[in-house]
Structure 1
Amino acid sequence: MNLMRLIAPLFSSPSLCLLAGLVAARADAAELPREQLEFFEKKIRPVLVERCYECHSAAAKKNKGGLTLDTRDGVLKGGDAGPALVPGDPEKSKLIEAVRYKNRDLQMPPKSPLPPDQVRDLEQWVKLGAPDPRTEAVAQTAGKRALTVDEGRQFWAFQPLANPPVPKIGNRQSAIANPIDAFINTKLAEKKLAAAAPADRRSLIRRATFDLTGLPPTPEEVDAFLTDKSPEAFAKVVDRLLNTTAYGERWGRHWLDVARYSDSNGLDENVAFGNAWRYRDYVVKSFNADKPYDRFVQEQIAGDLLPAEGTPQRHEQLTALGFLSIGPKLLAEPDKVKLEMDLIDEQIETLGRALLGMTFGCARCHDHKFDPVPTTDYYALAAIFKSTRTMDDLKTIAKWHEPEVATPAERAVVEAHQKKMAEQKALIAKLVASANKSLVTDKGLKEAPKNAESQYPTNTVAELKQLRADLKKLEDAAPEMPSTMGVTDSTNVVKTLPVHIRGSHLTLGKPVSRGFPQVMQVASLRAEMPEKQSGRLELARWLASPEHPLTVRVMVNRIWRWHFGQGLVASTDNFGILGDRPSHPELLDWLARRFIAEGWSVKAMHRLIMSSTAYQRATKPASDARRSVADPENKLLAHFPIRRLEAEEVRDAVHFVAGTLDRTMGGKTIPVKNREFFFNHTSKDATTYDSPRRALYLPVVRNNVYDLFEQFDFPDPAVPNGNRNATVVAPQALLMLNSGLVGRAAEKFAAALLASSSDDARRLELAYLKAYARPPTAKELARAKKFLTDFKPDSAASPSAWAVFCQSLLAANEFIYLN
């Protein structure tokens, strides 16, 4: 069936359909995306320097094969054998062929192959198009360096929080009710930009409901807001939404992006993280409870070391440590010391990006190329995590640490089942022993033969088969002892850790004591490291201190970004030298201080931001010729940015409008047991995504992300990401038009409309109210009625006119965009 042909009459030009909204985009090759630059600096440059420059650089005594690898041009030009690589195509790249060591005539480095993870990094680099910032050879750029620690302390992000006054308008103190607007309007006034009008009430409640819950408002909720004429009407909407359980599911998912949440390991052994869901549920619960952010941070770094009031709180704090444990791991890495250091590196990089907006991992092999973070600072942090146990067993396939979090009742259930299995095994052993004894006696043997069971009487064989079948059923149904992914202090606490020269544990430098990055230290935050503990508790308290220059700024900026689509610092995960400068530095610090004063309450920050005029503005800009020149990217927020729904919101909204969304919260939702293979090239993928529960509870499988998630820019679950993309590409439209999910939802949507009324006009009005939170225009109503009358299905198996109409609503731009 050609659905596009069937629904075409519903749309005028320009079309509302996603297909009509497609635009071509091209990255500027002159400026690398920040993520690609960081990938090169962390993963590629160290390999080239350590394993290639000796023979293939401007500084080499003899440039072998005419190939230089110390500049971008040298790599692309190649040597005597031609270009070293083809950007975007590893299979056609000689560099990749050489490092794979499969061609006996082309193997580099010549003395020994690269480790598999470095080969994978080079393959990924080429797939990305071989992004490379090197325009000059190393010998020519020796004068360039990163900031020193002392110089770095002058950089805006490392300075103490300022205490800016709320701006005045003209010569008087601003009469604006919300201080946020004073800061925003001052910037607009400086650029002589006019602010947009307030958003209409239907757009505003739809915006707020999706922002706080990830779901659309119901027609009844919209009507209640339109009817309430009190000045507090919108504040009441915000409070109602903050008190729904859907709030924690929506904002918990934001944090799970930052925490690189996944239900599987990925990398070499993609086994199930069967208990990662407990961390997911902990995050949701924490946001719903408005847990103070400073406490939230401390629990995720040192929950096992914090005091707890009772077993439930103790279990909750142990679960919070999933933050340090759910990252990807090379579980089959043969070099066990390297495996451990790679785990530590992943933890440090995640901590830096998620909590501080810093790329600490770039300092593992050398001083940070841009930020004032020397290698010694990296190993001061690494010593803390070296004193922390993440893995219980490093033997292939390595096993991560999982502390038990069973209640007495849960433990009793497991122990009772274990007792049943033991009794069943005892019955089998008793029968075998009896049968063997009879066999020896009857045949006059000295002992039972090796193939004794083949000589048992028929009835004994049958009984034994049944007993073993019953045991198999018990084993398959065995409940797992409730446990969670986490870490604990090592029995071997190290006071110092040597610098690993070029990141290699085989080449050690001077020892470094446990500690924190120098550029962020102030006198009041210095801490003595304990003799018998890792130092994670001291690290957690340092991170969560109100005097820390980064922690509070980074989180306030994240909250702002998740409301406005762009942070006051656009590079939400990078507050370093390569990151963006704040568009409103005074507002950022004012919000940070307000956040602390409000007890680190995220919900209080929502109320403050959403009560501002800036948040409540329309998306349509004011008529202002200066806007395209003075603020083409709307960084000054003269109008509210149009926002496309995120992947989970698109899917959940489809189910919600159709009336098929299952609102059950929490629990394990992956189809395999803990540590079982989830998906790889040799095993069957058992993952399904047809559950009607919220998308938050669908499996997140590294290396095999759900196709709908991928199409709508779900982030890579292997790395922290607080700034999702929002692309517009053809497959998104095709998915909405051809997906079984959307087709089935449209049929359910249509059935509900038909059952709601016998009047087509009322049905159509309800359809628009559910999908768009507004009634149809007279033109839309007339077009829809004509479509329903003229509809001619392709075949008897075609969906009904109402189902096709409903799918057209779900496939339109208005459904997945917020005004």
Structure 2
Amino acid sequence: MPRLTPLLILPLGLLLAPVRGADPRYEDPDLTPADKAHWAFRAPVRPVPPTGSFTFRVRTPVDAFILAKLEAAGIPPTPVADRLTLVRRVTLDLTGLPPTPAEVASFLGDDTPDAYTRLVDRLLASPRYGERWATHWLDVVRFAESNGYEADGERPHAWRYRDYVVRSLNADKPYDVFVTEQLAGDELAARKDAREAADLWVATGMHRCGPVHMVGGNLDADVLRQEVLTEMVNGVGAAFLGLTLACARCHDHKFDPVSLGDYYRIQAFFGGTRYTDVDLATADEKAARKSKADALEKEAAPLKKQVADLDAPVRTKVAAQKRAALEPRYKDALDTPAEKRTAEQKKLAADAGTLVRVSWDEVLAAMPPAERAKRAALREQIHALAARAPEPAAAAWAIKTTDADAKTHVLKRGSPKTKLDIASPAYLRVMATPDAPKTRADLARWMTRPDHPLTARVIVNRLWQHHFGRGLVATPNDFGLKGARPTHPELLDWLATELVANRWSLKHLHRLMVLSSTYQQCQAAPHPADPDNKLLGRMPRRRLEAEAVRDSVLAAAGTMNPQVGGPSVKVPLEPEVYDLIFTEGEPDGLWPVTPDATQHTRRSLYLFNKRNVRLPVFEAFDQPDTLNSCAVRPVSTFAPQALILMNGPFVQEQGKALAVRLAGEADPLEALYRRMLGRAPKVAERAAAELFLRDQASSVRDRLRARLPVGLDVALPAGADPAHVRALADLCVVLFNTNEFVHIP
């Protein structure tokens, strides 16, 4: 038998103990030539637009690439869409709102050669452009105004990041600057004046968009910290690089040349970063706010005391009843002094405390009716005062480097309890440059290099996706080996290099896309050679997103408040939504509705975006949950969508508002169709609508004669027939439900 080496006879505990004074080693896997050869990891090279038989259809260089592929596949391009379709399509695309009847008439009556070009330029200059495209960006960075998880605490300053995005897009801020400010605005702020510095601080709110545990419970502080860093890295990877970096958090990426070490070297750029709210208010502003808040609290204090005085005796009575109903073992445990309880009695006493706890609804149920009514009136007064509370003192919802020397470790299996080597800031090896980066500003400079393989490609692909229904790369957040290959790689590279050559102007790219003949094609039946329309021989049919559906209803009804920016608005919720969000406390305190009713018809972008509360119309029409980056929204079709657009209180209210506006028109049906669909009703549509109005109005008159409610709780113009207005409101709701209204033509 061979002699045992000393190593084999050492105690097992010593064998398993880590070496003192040294971190366990981690080694990156070798990069192969095949890793670096993947198309997305090579710098884009500007190709020459191809030529072919369809050159007469080329309006921008975009068309040359599309038409060359169609010609090779033997697919003829479809004809150009009619002018009504074009004005509706481009207006909905660039602003998220339908064109007004006056805008449609102006475009249709303009027969100059550059009429469409001037229309596009006007839309790109509109403040509505930034609002529309900010929604797409906020999907990608999973923006919300609450933390998520069980508590779902609100973020009172988050709206400033939303407004920063809108302002940046409207100003056509160069995309490389947009990226840099979000990655490292705090590092740049020191060199700017107060106004510019404030915007830079706000820009870093991108890294706080994801969900976060603010109440950790039993979670370890290191685990919570790692959650925060994970959200930051994953957000950067998805939004700017179009890579699934998250797959390398626990192990080397299974498919892409991104190692565990790569992941933590990117994380090291954020290692010393912490959340911070940067004070933006002046001393006078703070003093004025405190004075107003103190005055309101002084006014509310006696009301709160009256409520407490009403609650206290009832709560005591109910608690006594619940205690009397306990089993003897629970009573014995509670009667035993705490210091003398056995272990079992301590557990029983804790359980008994839960059993005798009195909820607010139990208090109300036991309260005499007169006192309950008095209490409800007091609560209404308290809420009215709370709704008048001033906004929190201005602050930037930001991040800041607080420890430049913080150490980041490679984590085995992603656990902060199994630290391997120290990871210093560095770029992804497959695209690395030889410099030695240290700060997030360095990371931003690397990402915005003119020859960076991913940054420009990723953003131009997002623009293409939202104009044509699908990206040139169909997986906008995954340009890796398992992502979709580009359908038109040369066009993708041409667009990426065109963006950089034109000072990273996104509006320049929009213009090239929507002025192309490819974009101006009509919708047509699928071609057998390309049933999925990957080669874009026709314009795809696209449904409006949830927010754009609601906004289009407001625009058609003429009730939209056009105010841009500012604190978010809380609109009244349907009763069933209150039931879903109720946890503890009184539900009327969970969602203090914005008291100014004119704010309730703001654009959907400005509605308070709480992770655990979504309006039914948004949920039905596939608004993302904001837990993860959403590059492509799903498009589902199911019965509740029609029910919400037909019976929902919001749509019913807007239908009545529009009917009142139409009541004074010489031809209400003509005006209705032009407001909703941009055109006059067809002969058959008019006949069907007139029959519908007669039947509905007759039914309403019968109900009025029987003194039954007809749901017409709006002021009518002088001389208006209530039955006709009510019937017209129902017809408005019918048109809200048409495919022509909720789809981009």
When the two structures are superposed, what TM-score results if normalisation uses the length of structure 2? 0.76
Q: Which residue of 2 aligns with 1:480?
A: 392
SS of aligned partner of 1:595: helix
SS of aligned partner of 1:513: coil
2:218 equivalent to 1:310: no
The 5 Å alignment of 1:614-763 reads 614-621=518-525, 627-628=527-528, 630-670=529-569, 681-683=583-585, 684=587, 685-686=590-591, 691-757=600-666, 762-763=667-668
The 5 Å alignment of 1:531-546 reads 535-546=439-450
2:215 equivalent to 1:327: no
SS of aligned partner of 1:486: strand
Q: 1:270–1:679: 8 Å Cα contact kept in structure 2?
A: no
The 5 Å alignment of 1:373-388 reads 373-388=258-273
SS of aligned partner of 2:409: strand
- Structure 1: distance between partners of 2:84 and 2:655: 23
Displacement of 1:329 in angstroms is 0.8
Q: Which residue of 2 aligns with 1:559?
A: 463
Q: Which residue of 2 aligns with 1:803?
A: 729
Q: Deviations over 1:580-625 (max 9, x none)?
A: 110100000000111111111111111111110000000124xx8x
- Structure 2: distance between partners of 1:387 and 1:812: 53
Q: 2:243–2:477: 8 Å Cα contact kept in structure 1?
A: yes
Displacement of 1:788 in angstroms is 2.2
Displacement of 1:781 in angstroms is 1.4
Q: 1:552–1:592: 8 Å Cα contact kept in structure 2?
A: yes
- Structure 2: distance between partners of 1:742 and 1:414: 37
The 5 Å alignment of 1:288-687 reads 288-306=170-188, 308-333=191-216, 334-390=219-275, 401-407=276-282, 410-411=285-286, 413-414=288-289, 477=389, 480-494=392-406, 496-521=407-432, 523=433, 526-530=434-438, 535-621=439-525, 627-628=527-528, 630-670=529-569, 681-683=583-585, 684=587, 685-686=590-591
- Structure 2: distance between partners of 1:735 and 1:488: 44
Q: 2:144–2:209: 8 Å Cα contact kept in structure 1?
A: yes
- Structure 2: distance between partners of 1:173 and 1:479: 58
- Structure 2: distance between partners of 1:793 and 1:146: 76
Amino acid at match of 2:280: V
Q: Which residue of 1 aligns with 2:345?
A: none
Displacement of 1:220 in angstroms is 0.6
CA pair 509-150 structure 1, distance change in 2 beyond 3 A: farther
SS of aligned partner of 1:510: strand
CA pair 734-506 structure 1, distance change in 2 beyond 3 A: same
CA pair 149-249 structure 1, distance change in 2 beyond 3 A: farther
Q: Deviations over 1:106-125 (max 9, x none)?
A: xxxxxxxxxxxxxxxxxxxx
Question: Is there any run of 5+ residues in structure 2 with no aligned partner, and where?
Answer: 1-27, 300-380, 572-579, 712-725
The 5 Å alignment of 1:233-248 reads 233-248=115-130
CA pair 573-782 structure 1, distance change in 2 beyond 3 A: same
Q: Deviations over 1:215-261 (max 9, x none)?
A: 11011100110111111101111111111111111111111111111
Q: Which residue of 1 aligns with 2:48?
A: 165
Q: How many residues align?
A: 597
The 5 Å alignment of 1:64-103 reads none
Amino acid at match of 1:555: I
Question: 1:154 aligned to 37, 41, 49, which one?
Answer: 37
Q: Which piece of structure 1 moves more, 607-616 or 686-695? A: 686-695
Q: 1:167–1:174: 8 Å Cα contact kept in structure 2?
A: no
Q: Deviations over 1:47-99 (max 9, x none)?
A: xxxxxxxxxxxxxxxxxxxxxxxxxxxxxxxxxxxxxxxxxxxxxxxxxxxxx
Deviating 4+ runs (over 6 angstroms): 172-175, 415-424, 472-476
Displacement of 1:147 in angstroms is 9.4
Question: 1:187 aligned to 59, 66, 69, which one?
Answer: 69
CA pair 195-479 structure 1, distance change in 2 beyond 3 A: closer
Amino acid at match of 2:238: R
Displacement of 1:552 in angstroms is 0.4
Question: 1:793 aligned to 693, 696, 699, which one?
Answer: 699
Q: Which residue of 2 aligns with 1:784?
A: 689
CA pair 711-561 structure 1, distance change in 2 beyond 3 A: same
2:671 equivalent to 1:766: yes
- Structure 2: distance between partners of 1:671 and 1:756: 34
Amino acid at match of 1:542: W
CA pair 206-177 structure 1, distance change in 2 beyond 3 A: closer
Amino acid at match of 2:212: K
Displacement of 1:476 in angstroms is 8.7
Q: 2:551–2:604: 8 Å Cα contact kept in structure 1?
A: yes
SS of aligned partner of 1:657: helix
Q: 2:296–2:389: 8 Å Cα contact kept in structure 1?
A: no
Q: Which residue of 1 aligns with 2:315?
A: none
Q: 1:271–1:679: 8 Å Cα contact kept in structure 2?
A: no
Q: Deviations over 1:759-798 (max 9, x none)?
A: xxx2211111111111111111122222223333263333
CA pair 262-661 structure 1, distance change in 2 beyond 3 A: same
Displacement of 1:806 in angstroms is 1.3
2:85 equivalent to 1:215: no
Give me the identity figure in percent: 39
Amino acid at match of 1:635: K
CA pair 423-737 structure 1, distance change in 2 beyond 3 A: closer
CA pair 346-754 structure 1, distance change in 2 beyond 3 A: same
Q: 1:264–1:270: 8 Å Cα contact kept in structure 2?
A: yes
SS of aligned partner of 1:386: coil
Amino acid at match of 1:302: A
Displacement of 1:737 in angstroms is 1.1
CA pair 560-502 structure 1, distance change in 2 beyond 3 A: same
- Structure 1: distance between partners of 2:738 and 2:151: 40
CA pair 173-779 structure 1, distance change in 2 beyond 3 A: closer
The 5 Å alignment of 1:33-52 reads none
RMSD, aligned α-carbons: 2.8
Amino acid at match of 1:242: L
Q: Which residue of 2 aligns with 1:814?
A: 740
Displacement of 1:543 in angstroms is 1.4
CA pair 474-633 structure 1, distance change in 2 beyond 3 A: closer
Q: Which residue of 2 aligns with 1:287?
A: 169
SS of aligned partner of 1:304: helix
Displacement of 1:269 in angstroms is 2.4
- Structure 2: distance between partners of 1:793 and 1:289: 53
